[in-house]
A and B are shown apart, each in its own frame.
Chain A
């Protein structure tokens, strides 16, 4: 029953983090700059963790994750701005449509492997972006006005559910099936694992949460533009996962937090930010290609609670 204990620990830590931040915001101690930064961190963690499922757990190298972020962002914005539906409904629909987009992209392209899969996902993401660019209903190149509806509470609830679902999925026979595909696809197939099914499921689930992040993302700015979702955005998400350590959920979380903080504090010096960013990327890949955490989890260092680990 150590896994159940892990869950309660996760729940308690979450409540404490949420409660503290919410108190600081409502007491006016955290100004809007800081609360916005926290919301942005939350969105980036959702993105990082959703891509972690595709790349880190299932081993499918996708570099077009921003496409699904775009789908979630635009669809949820249509639901709130054009159809005047409640924000939570819009977020959920954004996630579902992004998952469908994930199926449409994933089913044909997941037959490809390695570099070819990467390039195909990049191509699909660009096509998604260009489609939004050409739809006048959502403003085309001029972008779409969106109300600011995202709050710390919405962000945190989505983040909590994302991490819980992905952890529960990973620590089950289904997650192990995905890891076996990553480790040795031929052997997984020979052991009775429907590898195509699990690749597509992981991809769709990852896309779903990217879509959820999209809903939060679009309602955190006052306008969304197709250029927000170019492949540089995909690379940003990819970098969270790779720097954190492929296969490590907590690594993805930690690097999403660190990199978002770094970008936020350097946002007045965008060139410096990008130069630092790229240098860190190159140096880490050359000297520590397994990333910050490797495949380990933060909990491994505490010895006891190992449930977040891929498959254990």
Chain B
């Protein structure tokens, strides 16, 4: 029954990857940029949540909303200040800028508050109950349900709202969308706002679940989430979530088999295999739905 347990751990980890991967996949889908700073937005989300809970005594959900809002604003600022000018620049210039923004956020935070980690407060009741012989914590279930709800909201936004339609149009053909009267700049900003809000939510959830946060915490989950986005087929929203879950489960299994030091390698091996044999990802090509 330990396997059920591990599966649940994997799904919890995977849903965090998935939430971060959504932002990567949306941004890549719309402006073909690997937004390296996205993992750091996730870190900022975790810290905003931390200060909101410990400093202002907010509960989990208000802290989550606050972190999402702050991250959305941050995402738009990053896009407007750094990336907007780069729309016609070379891919290398764009990627280097993204790396620069990432380093700036990381070391800016260290400069302001130091590099020491923080212990996340316990805001959620952590009861565990038996399920087919496995111990399931209420936290795992909450994480999973929050992730699913956010995913559903995102699907609703992308498919049922005007801004979602604009996002799909811009990702398909930016010039044509502009000619059809779509405000391309605002649409791109909205994409950054939504993607960053998801990363912010993931930050708070990560803090609650793993209880330790620090300024460089975004780097590895950020890279892993990118792997998840590629795995699911970059640009495809459900793909990001599925890619995240697959990656989370695989990593947990690798750890459970006693290869915990190889856990990080697993993600990159998956990445390379996918790139070499199926670069369009699990859901690529046929069901291509870009945003």
> A and B touching (C-beta < 8 Å)?
yes
Determine how close the nearest CB of chain A comes to the CB of B264; give it in whole angstroms: 6
Do A274 and B103 have beta carbons less than 8 Å apart? yes
Kindly report which residue of chain A lies nearest to residue B90, judged by CB atoms: A289
Q: Does B276 contact A (CB under 8 A)?
A: yes
In the assembled complex, the Cα of A286 lies from the Cα of B97 at a distance in Å of 8
In the assembled complex, the Cα of A98 lies from the Cα of B226 at a distance in Å of 27
Task: Digitize B62-100: 1 where CB-to-A-CB distance is under 8 Å, 0 elsewhere.
Answer: 000000000000000000001001100111111111011
In the assembled complex, the Cα of A63 lies from the Cα of B226 at a distance in Å of 15
Do B272 and A120 have beta carbons less than 8 Å apart? yes
Question: Which of A123, A124, A141, A274 contacts B106 (CB under 8 A)?
Answer: A274
In the assembled complex, the Cα of A134 lies from the Cα of B108 at a distance in Å of 33
Question: Which of A272, A274, A285 contacts B93 (CB under 8 A)?
Answer: A285
Q: Does A152 contact B (CB under 8 A)?
A: no
Determine how close the nearest CB of chain A comes to the CB of B278; give it in whole angstroms: 12
Do B276 and A108 have beta carbons less than 8 Å apart? yes
Interface residues of A in 57-112 (CB under 8 A from B): 61, 63, 108-109, 111-112
In the assembled complex, the Cα of A278 lies from the Cα of B36 at a distance in Å of 13
Do A239 and B272 have beta carbons less than 8 Å apart? no
In the assembled complex, the Cα of A119 lies from the Cα of B267 at a distance in Å of 12
Q: Does B152 contact A (CB under 8 A)?
A: no
Determine how close the nearest CB of chain B comes to the CB of A225; give it in whole angstroms: 14
Do A275 and B92 have beta carbons less than 8 Å apart? no
Kindly report which residue of chain A lies nearest to residue B265, judged by CB atoms: A130
Contact residues in B for A109 (Cβ distance below 8 Å): 272, 275-276
Do A123 and B272 have beta carbons less than 8 Å apart? yes
Q: Does B4 contact A (CB under 8 A)?
A: no
Chain A contact-residue range equals 35 or more
Contact residues in A for B262 (Cβ distance below 8 Å): 130, 134
Do A61 and B92 have beta carbons less than 8 Å apart? yes
Our count of residue pairs bridging A and B at CB distance below 8 angstroms stands at 113
Do A126 and B108 have beta carbons less than 8 Å apart? no
**Most chain-B CB neighbours within 10 Å: which of A122, A123, A278?**
A123
In the assembled complex, the Cα of A262 lies from the Cα of B91 at a distance in Å of 27
Do B271 and A120 have beta carbons less than 8 Å apart? yes
Do A279 and B261 have beta carbons less than 8 Å apart? no
Kindly report which residue of chain B lies nearest to residue A288, judged by CB atoms: B93
Q: Does A271 contact B (CB under 8 A)?
A: yes
Determine how close the nearest CB of chain B comes to the CB of A71; give it in whole angstroms: 16
Chain B contact-residue range equals 35 or more
In the assembled complex, the Cα of A55 lies from the Cα of B94 at a distance in Å of 15
> A274-B107, A279-B104 given as contacts; is B96 within 8 A of A239 (CB)?
yes
Do A126 and B97 have beta carbons less than 8 Å apart? no
In the assembled complex, the Cα of A309 lies from the Cα of B82 at a distance in Å of 32
> A271-B107, A281-B97 given as contacts; is B268 within 8 A of A127 (CB)?
yes
In the assembled complex, the Cα of A247 lies from the Cα of B104 at a distance in Å of 27
Q: Does A235 contact B (CB under 8 A)?
A: yes
Do B89 and A119 have beta carbons less than 8 Å apart? no
In the assembled complex, the Cα of A131 lies from the Cα of B279 at a distance in Å of 25
Do A123 and B101 have beta carbons less than 8 Å apart? no
Q: Does A277 contact B (CB under 8 A)?
A: yes
> A120-B275, A271-B111 given as contacts; is B268 within 8 A of A285 (CB)?
no
Q: Does B230 contact A (CB under 8 A)?
A: yes
Determine how close the nearest CB of chain B comes to the CB of A248; give it in whole angstroms: 14
Q: Does B34 contact A (CB under 8 A)?
A: yes
Q: Does B110 contact A (CB under 8 A)?
A: yes
Kindly report which residue of chain B lies nearest to residue A61, judged by CB atoms: B92
Question: Which of B34, B223, B276 contacts A115 (CB under 8 A)?
Answer: B34
Q: Does B269 contact A (CB under 8 A)?
A: yes
Do A271 and B268 have beta carbons less than 8 Å apart? no
Contact residues in B for A134 (Cβ distance below 8 Å): 261-262
Q: Does A149 contact B (CB under 8 A)?
A: no
Kindly report which residue of chain B lies nearest to residue A108, judged by CB atoms: B276
Determine how close the nearest CB of chain B comes to the CB of A266; give it in whole angstroms: 12
**Most chain-A CB neighbours within 10 Å: which of B92, B106, B264?**
B92
Question: Which of A118, A127, A277 contacts B103 (CB under 8 A)?
Answer: A277
In the assembled complex, the Cα of A111 lies from the Cα of B272 at a distance in Å of 12
Q: Does A253 contact B (CB under 8 A)?
A: no
Q: Does A282 contact B (CB under 8 A)?
A: yes
> A109-B272, A235-B99, A286-B86 given as contacts; is B34 within 8 A of A119 (CB)?
yes
Determine how close the nearest CB of chain B comes to the CB of A238; give it in whole angstroms: 7
Question: Which of B86, B110, B272 contacts A124 (CB under 8 A)?
Answer: B272
12 contacts between A and B (CB under 8 A): A61-B95, A122-B223, A123-B227, A130-B268, A239-B96, A272-B111, A274-B103, A275-B104, A278-B107, A279-B100, A281-B100, A285-B96
Besides the known contacts A112-B275, A115-B32, 13 further A-B residue pairs in the complex with CB atoms under 8 A apart: A112-B279, A119-B226, A120-B272, A120-B276, A122-B223, A123-B275, A126-B223, A130-B265, A134-B262, A275-B108, A278-B100, A278-B102, A285-B96
Top 5 closest pairs, chain A to chain B, by CB = A281-B100, A274-B107, A278-B103, A123-B268, A278-B104
Seen from chain B, the residues whose Cβ lies within 8 Å of a Cβ on chain A are 32, 34, 82, 85-86, 89-97, 99-104, 106-108, 110-111, 223, 226-227, 230, 261-262, 264-265, 268-269, 271-272, 275-276, 279
